[in-house]
Structure 1
Amino acid sequence: MDHRTPAATVGVVGGGQLGRMMGEAAGPLGVELVVSDPTPDCPAAPVVRDQVVGDFEDYEAIRTLAERADVLTFEIELADPDAMERVGEETDTPIHPDPGTLRTIQDKLVQNRTLEKGGLPVPAFRRVDTEADLRKAGEELGWPVMLKAREGGYDGRGNRPVEGPEAAAEALEEVGGAALAEEFVDFERELAVMGAVGDGETRAYPVTETIHEEEILRESVTPARTNEAVRSRAREIAFDVLEILEGRGVYGIELFETADGEILVNEIAPRPHNSGHWTIEGAGCSQFEQHVRAVLGWPLGDASLRSPAVTANLLGDVTDPRVAELAGTESILGTAEASLHWYGKREARPLRKMGHVTLTEADADRDTLLSRARKLVGSVSFK
């Protein structure tokens, strides 16, 4: 049975909120998505052609995707690059970004070494395998240090600040062993640039300011509230990052702006990213449509700013897991400049990303937009 459309079919490993928004963006292009995800009726399921139920490293599930798709991609770093590489070789299905890029990104030590070798500015770092390694790293880099799990962590997960040698054992146990320690960056603000690599072309969206709390992204402000020289340098570094990564697609490039105006690369996500959700309303072409275009080798879309944009995440404000029901959305729905995005997750958990709200307004003051977004998010709650 031929499941292909006249346009194209994209297979996506992962069917979470990113897959859902990718499916929403692909539809108007005539592109269909088939996703694989271990959760039956995953968040992406209502808006894509089909779901294959299978773990992110499930070879058979990934092969099924490849057999039904013109190109294979992923929306989560937990996807297995070895399984995808094998499937690609056996089925001649293109995979973008390249599994080798995913393999590099999955290990934060390898990622930092790759960036450093490519001449990109990164925080000073040390490999950490034991408590003694962490204590030595703290002595060399200066306490406190940021301890990061080498594998399995993304979007702030697996990161833990370590104040001093007395906390070394507990911190290492918390992140699960193999890690790296980075110098603790005294940053002025955190920034992000969504970059896109197409067939012989690259684009970068305007620089976004990202606001985190407890290592979780809470809000984004675009354009970033910094000077033009810093924004220009951030975009320049983003293009340099794209040069050393293999494969087409959208990349979330997270950065630090230091107190003296320097830019350091923090982490890279080889997929659409929370810091780029503003592009749905605020840019000519959303990061999700851009990713679909890029992996298919189609011309890239307009990455320019339509209007200033602020995004605020809807996080699970619960103490225990419960059925996800959002109450009080009237204030968001009644605000002309606001757009509500619900991710379709059935269970609310503490600080879980359940959706987001974006405010856009031409020539708007970004501080005012941020204040309004916070007020709107604060008006809703989970029952």
Structure 2
Amino acid sequence: MTTLRTPGPTIGVVGGGQLGRMLAEAAAPLGVEVVVLDPTPDCPAAPFARDQIVAGFDDEAGIRELAARADVLTFEIELADQDVMERVSEDTGTPVHPDPSTLETIHDKLVQKRELEAAGVPVPPFREVEDAADVRAAIDDYGAPVMCKARTGGYDGRGNVPVESKADAADALESVAGPAMVESFVDFEREVSVIAVKGEDDVATFPIGENVHEDEILRETVVPARSSDAVTERAHAVARDVLEVMDGRGVYGIELFETREGEILLNEIAPRPHNSGHWTIEGTQTSQFEQHARAVLGWPLGSTELRSPTVMANLLADVDAEQSAQLGDIDEILETPGAALHWYGKRQARPLRKMGHVTLSAAEESESVDELLERARELEDAVTFRP
């Protein structure tokens, strides 16, 4: 085994949002430097990164400069251009993890589902749709409602439109505005996720998290999920099967449905650290961000052992229009044992924009996750956004 030393190498990250910010925070104690590429000057990751290259996510000249300054490239946003990254990697010899081919698969939800289904990963029934007649045919086969999804570009629930009846088919397709697919609606017990890591020689999975959404946006993640041992075991098995399909090292956020019958179905995959894994910063021995740094560098993975039950609550801007970002009334979070505040450094607050998150870990062994979730919501509700 190669002897590792620190100060260590440099990771070049396409994207400098909150994920890049937390990745740079996690890499620093390892002696690993981070350089980010992002079109927004002084992006959220900039205060913690070694440097920022101001360029678009598909800017080939900028990505070549990033590759020249890094030992490995990765990305924290799916808007990274896989073709450019593959070409730059081939020309410069700087590896990209996860592999650009994985990014290409993820970019198109229909391609993603087809590849996973072919590999035996359980997915809801789905099909490509080109017009309203196709959507109505899907309703005939799957029953109403169905979920109409944009094949590309959607995130945080954007591009996902429930179709309650055949009469809504045309409007749903118009709302998606582009190539689309339809999935049968899953009558789920809960939405869960597994943060999984693909290293050089091994894989690791974090404890299963239960995700609470509202208006298709993640609000809270509860760990451990309120699922049975059998469901938890199945979720980890499916996550490991997903990793077999993905090429390249790194963290993968794997979103799943737990059906009312106790089955696990794949929802979507993010080939990067994921919002539903932010709880790992305080909740586990090694955070998802440190794991991603270790994985893309080919270093040994850390422990994913749970420290204590933990809840993560997103801090969404409760504003009516865009305004300067200001977070107020954080006293209760700071005064609460087991609570941790994470502010993302975004300059502008927009309605329901993710501005930060708070985690709350159990202060007593007897505290249930239901009690923990209730306290986390109280901390979240106390926060205000003022102009």
TM-score, normalised by the number of residues in structure 2? 0.97
Q: 8 Å contact 2:7–2:30 — kept in the other structure?
A: no
State yes or no: 1:91 paired with 2:88: no
Q: 8 Å contact 1:130–1:177 — kept in the other structure?
A: no
Aligned to 1:376: 379
Question: 1:255 and 1:93 mapped to 2: Cα distance?
Answer: 33
Aligned to 2:296: 295
- Unaligned runs of at least 5 residues, structure 1: none
Question: 1:56 and 1:155 mapped to 2: Cα distance?
Answer: 19
Q: % of aligned pairs identical?
A: 64
RMSD: 0.9
Aligned to 2:210: 209
Q: Secondary structure at the match of 1:170?
A: helix
How far apart are residue 136 of structure 1 and its match?
Answer: 1.5
Instruction: Map 1:108-119 to 2 at 5 A.
Output: 108-119=109-120
State yes or no: 1:60 paired with 2:61: yes
Amino acid across the alignment from 1:280: I
Question: 1:59 and 1:175 mapped to 2: Cα distance?
Answer: 29
Amino acid across the alignment from 1:375: E
State yes or no: 1:124 paired with 2:125: yes
Question: 2:7 and 2:323 mapped to 1: Cα distance?
Answer: 42
How far apart are residue 154 of structure 1 and its match?
Answer: 2.0
Q: Secondary structure at the match of 2:21?
A: helix
Question: 1:154 and 1:118 mapped to 2: Cα distance?
Answer: 24
Instruction: Map 1:336-375 to 2 at 5 A.
Output: 336-361=337-362, 363=365, 364-375=367-378
Aligned to 1:248: 249
- For these two proteins, the number of residue pairs brought into alignment is 379
Aligned to 2:35: 34
Aligned to 1:310: 311
Map Cα deviations across residues 199-251 of structure 1 (whole Å, 9 max, x no partner). Answer: 11000000000000111000000010111111011001101111111000000
Question: 2:284 and 2:142 mapped to 1: Cα distance?
Answer: 40
Instruction: Map 1:1-383 to 2 at 5 A.
Output: 6-361=7-362, 363=365, 364-383=367-386
- Name whichever of 129-138 and 351-360 sits farther off: 129-138
How far apart are residue 114 of structure 1 and its match?
Answer: 0.6
Question: 2:140 and 2:60 mapped to 1: Cα distance?
Answer: 44
Q: 8 Å contact 1:312–1:377 — kept in the other structure?
A: yes
How far apart are residue 61 of structure 1 and its match?
Answer: 1.2
Question: 2:168 and 2:37 mapped to 1: Cα distance?
Answer: 40
Q: Secondary structure at the match of 1:284?
A: coil
Map Cα deviations across residues 101-125 of structure 1 (whole Å, 9 max, x no partner). Answer: 0000010000000110000000000
Q: 8 Å contact 2:210–2:225 — kept in the other structure?
A: yes
Amino acid across the alignment from 1:48: A
Q: Secondary structure at the match of 2:47?
A: helix
Q: 8 Å contact 1:324–1:382 — kept in the other structure?
A: yes
How far apart are residue 54 of structure 1 and its match?
Answer: 1.1
Amino acid across the alignment from 2:368: D
Map Cα deviations across residues 138-159 of structure 1 (whole Å, 9 max, x no partner). Answer: 2221111011100001232211
Map Cα deviations across residues 316-352 of structure 1 (whole Å, 9 max, x no partner). Answer: 1011010000110001111121000000011111111
Misfit runs of 4+, over 2 Å: none
How far apart are residue 168 of structure 1 and its match?
Answer: 1.2
Question: 1:333 and 1:157 mapped to 2: Cα distance?
Answer: 33
How far apart are residue 177 of structure 1 and its match?
Answer: 2.2
Question: 1:23 and 1:277 mapped to 2: Cα distance?
Answer: 14
- Unaligned runs of at least 5 residues, structure 2: 1-5
Q: 8 Å contact 2:190–2:257 — kept in the other structure?
A: yes
Question: 1:156 and 1:290 mapped to 2: Cα distance?
Answer: 26
How far apart are residue 186 of structure 1 and its match?
Answer: 0.2
